[in-house]
Amino acid sequence: MTEHVFDQMRRAMVASQLRTTGVNDPRVVAAMGAVPRERFVPPARCALAYADTLVPLGGGRCLNPPMALGRMLTEARLRGAEKALVIGAATGYSAAVLAKLAASVVAVEEDAKLAAFARKALVGTGVELVEGPLKDGHAAGAPYDFILIDGAVEHVPQLIVDQIADGGEFALALLDEGVTRLCVGRVVAGAFGTQAVSDAAAAVLPGFEKPRGFSF
């Protein structure tokens, strides 16, 4: 596919997938309209770069649909001065978009192949890529004003909650009995609460399973 074709697909994504689903923050729309999503998709999947679907990346991981990212960033109402962390960077797309909305971005990825792909794709974006367990976040750079968990999780470990500054915000998809709900929330005095904004498809991230109670 040519660059012109991808430009057309990107404009169609903005018009049909973002503006029609509540992604109405002009800064978010502009950022997603500017970042070439095809750069963050494996060559064999480039035809799906702007599709309204999960894009398989291998190893059970997927790139989430554009609408999921757009809604989370819209509801987060970023002001532009935030120090941000992305957990579950995958190929780096969400971090590249967030880099246009925040002052600084660190992105964490634990899959070595995805991290290598993201490191190349993110050149020139200003994003710092860190390779390590997703469930640990990146405490060395804390506290963060905003954390994006770019995928569906059953729960958020306290270790990650502790990396958000008091009054800081986060966005994620919560997995509840097979349904993924996009949520935003805020951390106050070490405790956090969430507000669901929409149901949407989102890939499940490894390592965030809800602790099971002991049973015989």
* Whole-angstrom Cα Rg for the chain: 16
Joined tokens for residue 24: 């109405």
Give the separation between CA 204 and CA 209, rounded to whole angstroms.
Answer: 10
How open is the CA angle 108-91-139, to the nearest 5 degrees?
5
Confidence of residue 55 (pLDDT cuts 50, 70, 90): very high
Confidence of residue 1 (pLDDT cuts 50, 70, 90): confident
Query: pLDDT digits over 90-111, tens only?
Result: 999 999 999 999 999 999 999 9
Give the separation between CA 52 and CA 34, rounded to whole angstroms.
Answer: 18
Confidence of residue 213 (pLDDT cuts 50, 70, 90): low
3-state secondary structure of 43: helix
**Domain annotation covers residue 211:** no
The total number of structural domains in the chain stands at 1
Confidence of residue 192 (pLDDT cuts 50, 70, 90): confident
Query: pLDDT digits over 112-159, tens only?
Result: 999 999 999 999 999 999 999 999 999 999 999 999 999 999 999 999
**Domain annotation covers residue 72:** yes
Going from the C-alpha of 158 to that of each of 25, 52, 72, the distances in angstroms are 30, 32, 21
**Domain annotation covers residue 207:** no
Give the separation between CA 172 and CA 191, rounded to whole angstroms.
Answer: 16
Domain that holds residue 99: 3-199
**Domain annotation covers residue 19:** yes
Going from the C-alpha of 42 to that of each of 47, 113, 133, the distances in angstroms are 10, 11, 22
Q: What's the mean pLDDT when you consider all of the chain?
A: 93
**Domain annotation covers residue 212:** no
Q: What is the DSSP string of the chain?
A: --HHHHHHHHHHHIIIIIGGGT---HHHHHHHHHS-GGGGS-GGGGGGTT-SS-EEEETTEEEPPHHHHHHHHHHHT--S--EEEEE--TTSHHHHHHTTTSSEEEEEE--HHHHHHHHHHTTTS-PEEEES-GGG--GGG--EEEEEEEEEES---HHHHTTEEEEEEEEEEEEETTEEEEEEEEEETTEEEEEEEEE---PBPTT-PPPPPP--
**Does the pLDDT of residue 33 top 60, yes or no?**
yes
**Domain annotation covers residue 209:** no
Fill in the DSSP letter of residue 29: H
111: domain CATH number is 3.40.50.150
**Domain annotation covers residue 26:** yes
**Domain annotation covers residue 208:** no
